[in-house]
Amino acid sequence: MTKQNPKYIFVFGGVMSGIGKGIAASSIAKIIQAHKYSVTSIKIDPYVNVDAGTMNPTEHGEVFVLSNGLETDQDMGNYERFLNVKLPGSNYMTTGSVYWKVINNERNLKYKGKCVQIIPHVTNEVIKNIRGASVKNKADAVVIEVGGTTGDYENVLFTEAARQMKLKNPEDVLFVMISFVPYPKKIGEMKTKPTQQAARALNEAGIQPDIIIARSDKPIDKKRKEKIALFCNIQKDAVISAPDTDYIYEIPLNFEKDGLSSTILKKLGLKNGGVGDLKDWKKMVDKMKKAKKEIRIGMVGKYFGTGDCILSDSYISVIEAIKHASYNQSRRPVIDWINAEEFEKNPKRLKSLEEYDALIVPGGFGSRGIEGKIKAIQFARENNIPYLGLCYGMQLMVIEYARNVVGLKNANTAEIDLKSEYLIVDLMPEQKEKMQNSDYGATMRLGDYPCEIKKSTLAYDAYKRTSIKERHRHRYEVNPKYIKQIEKAGLVFSGQSPDGKLMEIAELPKEKHCFMIGSQFHPEFTSSPLQPNPLFQSLIKAIKNNK
Ligand code: GLN
C-alpha cells in the first residue's frame, strides 16, 4: 500500500453499555484489515485506575494481560483474537494513566511553569498516545474504542480529544457510533428515539457521527434506517444493521452485508476493493455453525452473584479459547459453571462431575472454594477425566498431588495457609518484598516469559517445539524445595523456565491418566479463532480420544 496519513476511526457507544461495542470495534478493525491494510486497535478505559490490574473482574470483566505484561481491559483480548496480532502496551490507556503522565510531567517542570489544564495539556496527552500507538504499530488505520456511553461525565476528556483530532485532519478521522434500537414487544415496532438522542448527545460534544451501527435483536428494516439517517444527520448507507448473533465472529461478515468496509474506506479516501478478503474467516465461521456434536466442559471455580453475564465477562478469554479449539475440531462446547464450594459442604456431589467430558480450574485468587477445587481435581485424577489447570488451577493440581499421592499432609499454598508444614506453592522473594510494602499495582509476574518444554510429554505433543512463550499473571510459584520429591512420585514438570527454577507446566504421564495438565501461564490469552491455543487443542483432542 502507498503510505498515506494514518486514518483514525473512533468508536463511541450510544444509549447503553453492554451492547457489544468492543466486538463491533474489533469487527470494524477486522474488515479493514481484510483489505490488506495494517490495522491496529486502541482501547480507552475511562476509569481512574492506572491499569485494569486493580479492578475487580466481577465488576469490570476479565483482566487481559498483554505480552509486555500490561494489565488491560478484556476488549484488548477481543482485538487480538479478531486481528490475530499481539498488541503493544501503547494501545491501552485509562483516565488514570493519562493523568499520571501529565502530573509527572508537571512535577518535572516539563510544562515550563505554565498553568497545566485539562485542555490542552491532558487532551494533548491523549492525542499523543493515539498518534504514538499508530506509529508504533506502523498502522494505516487505527480503531479507537472510547469506553463508556456518550453523555457519561467520565469520557468527556476523550471525546474532546477525538473532536480536536477531526478538526485538525477532517479527512483522516471518522466517527462511528454503536447504538441500540429496542424492539418492545408490546409496541411491536423498533424504536429509534434512543439512537436519535444518543446522536444528539454526541453532537453536544461537537461530534457528528459519520456511521451509526444499530444493534438490535433483529435486522433493522429500511424504514428504520431512513429514520435514523434523517434524524441523526447521516447518509442512508451509513446506517448499519447489527442484529444479535450466536457467533461473535460472524459480526464482521454481517457488517459486510451492509457494505460497511466500503463505506468506511470511501469516507476515509482509502482504496477500496469491495468486500475485503475474509475467506478464511468465513470458513471458520461456517465450521462453527456446522459443529453439532456437543462436548460438556465443567469450569470449577468460586462463583458468586452468578448470572451468566458476570461469569462470561470474567472468564471471556478462557471461554473463547475453549470455543476456538472445540469448533476447530468440529465440536460444540457446552460450558457449565460449577461452584467449588458445593464440594466442601457436600463431597457426595463430586459424583456429578462424572457427566463432564473435561474439567477446567481457571485462574483465581484467594481462599474461597479452594478445598472444593482441590477435591474436584482429585476426582478428575482418580476418575480419568481430562483436566486442564490454568495458573491457580495448575498450582492446586500440584498441591492435590502432594497431599494425596506424595503424602504431604495439609500441603498448601502460601496464599492460603502460611502455617502449613508443606508450602508446595510459595511466594518468590521479590514478591515478598512488594507485598510487605503494599505495592500491589502491576507487581505480579506479568506478561510473556519463556518456557522450555521436555520432549515426549503432553506439553510437547501440544506445542510441538521445545521453546515457547506464554503470558503470566501470578505472584506464587511451585516451591523448588519439593520438586524432586513430587517428580519422584510421578508428576512431571514438563515445562520450566530456561534456568530451570520456575515450574511452568505440570502433567501426569499418559500411562497414568488420559490427559491431566496444568500451566502456570495463561494459555487462553494467546488463543484466536484462526489459531487456537495448543493446550486447548490438546484438551479437545483428549476428549475426543477418551470417548
Ligand atoms: N493466585 C495465584 C497466584 O497469584 C494464581 C493467580 C492466577 O490464577 N492468575 O500465583
Residue 191 has which C-alpha cell? 424504536
How close is the Cα of 86 to the center of ligand 1, in Å? 23
Q: Whose CA is nearest to atom 1 of ligand 1?
A: 365
Q: Whose CA is nearest to atom 7 of ligand 1?
A: 363
Contacts of residue 503, Cβ cutoff 8 Å, sequence gap at least 6 = 398, 477, 478, 483, 493, 495, 496, 520
User: Region 75-95: what's the mean pLDDT?
Assistant: 97
- The DSSP H or E segment spanning 266 is helix 260-268
Residue 339 has which C-alpha cell? 461452584
Find the catalytic residue in 35, 160, 341, 391. 391
391 is annotated as an active-site residue: yes
Whether cis (ω within 30° of 0) applies to the bond prior to 120 is yes
Hey, which of 476, 479, 502 would you mutate to test ligand 1's pocket, going by the most ligand atoms within 8 Å of its Cβ? 476
522 is annotated as an active-site residue: yes
342 is annotated as an active-site residue: no
Residue 508 has which C-alpha cell? 501426569
Q: pLDDT tens-digit profile of 3-47?
A: 679 999 999 998 888 788 999 999 999 999 999 999 999 999 999
Cα→Cα distances 154→145, 318, 344, Å: 14, 30, 43
Residue 368 has which C-alpha cell? 474461597
C-alpha to C-alpha distance for 192 and 514, rounded to whole angstroms: 55
C-alpha to C-alpha distance for 369 and 438, rounded to whole angstroms: 25
Where residue 314 falls among pLDDT bands split at 50, 70, 90?
A: confident
Write the burial class of residue 223 (CB in 10 Å: 0-12 exposed, 13-18 middle, 19+ buried): exposed
pLDDT of residue 202: 96
pLDDT at 214 over 90: yes
Contacts of residue 542, Cβ cutoff 8 Å, sequence gap at least 6 = 358, 386, 514, 515
pLDDT of residue 110: 94
C-alpha to C-alpha distance for 340 and 306, rounded to whole angstroms: 13
Hey, which of 392, 397, 449 would you mutate to test ligand 1's pocket, going by the most ligand atoms within 8 Å of its Cβ? 392
Hey, which of 475, 479, 502, 525 would you mutate to test ligand 1's pocket, going by the most ligand atoms within 8 Å of its Cβ? 475
Where residue 307 falls among pLDDT bands split at 50, 70, 90?
A: low
Site of grid cell 477446567: 360
Where residue 1 falls among pLDDT bands split at 50, 70, 90?
A: very low
pLDDT of residue 142: 98
**Are 7-284 and 291-546 the same fold in CATH?**
yes
What are the pocket residues of ligand 1 if the criterion is a CB atom closer than 6 Å to any ligand atom? 363-365, 391-392, 415, 473-476
The answer to whether 298 and 339 are in contact (CB under 8 A) is no
Q: Whose CA is nearest to atom 5 of ligand 1?
A: 392
Find the catalytic residue in 71, 125, 477, 524. 524
More confident residue, 454 or 184: 454
Is pTM beyond 0.85 here?
yes
Which candidate, 196, 148, 163, places its Cα nearest to that of 22? 148
Percent of the chain with pLDDT over 70: 97
Number of H helices, E strands in the chain: 20, 21
How close is the Cα of 440 to the center of ligand 1, in Å? 13
Q: Whose CA is nearest to atom 8 of ligand 1?
A: 363
User: Region 404-427: what's the mean pLDDT?
Assistant: 95
C-alpha to C-alpha distance for 216 and 195, rounded to whole angstroms: 11
User: Region 61-87: what's the mean pLDDT?
Assistant: 96
Site of grid cell 456434536: 293
**Superfamily (CATH H level) for 7-284:** P-loop containing nucleotide triphosphate hydrolases (3.40.50.300)
How close is the Cα of 456 to the center of ligand 1, in Å? 28
DSSP state of 21: H
Per-residue buried b or exposed e for 399-416, using 16+ beta carbons within 10 Å of the residue's own CB: bbbbbbbbebeebbbbbb
Domain ranges (residues) in the chain:
7-284, 291-546
pLDDT of residue 3: 66
Four-residue CA torsion sign, 237, 238, 241, 246: positive
Q: CATH second-level architecture of 291-546?
A: 3-Layer(aba) Sandwich (3.40)
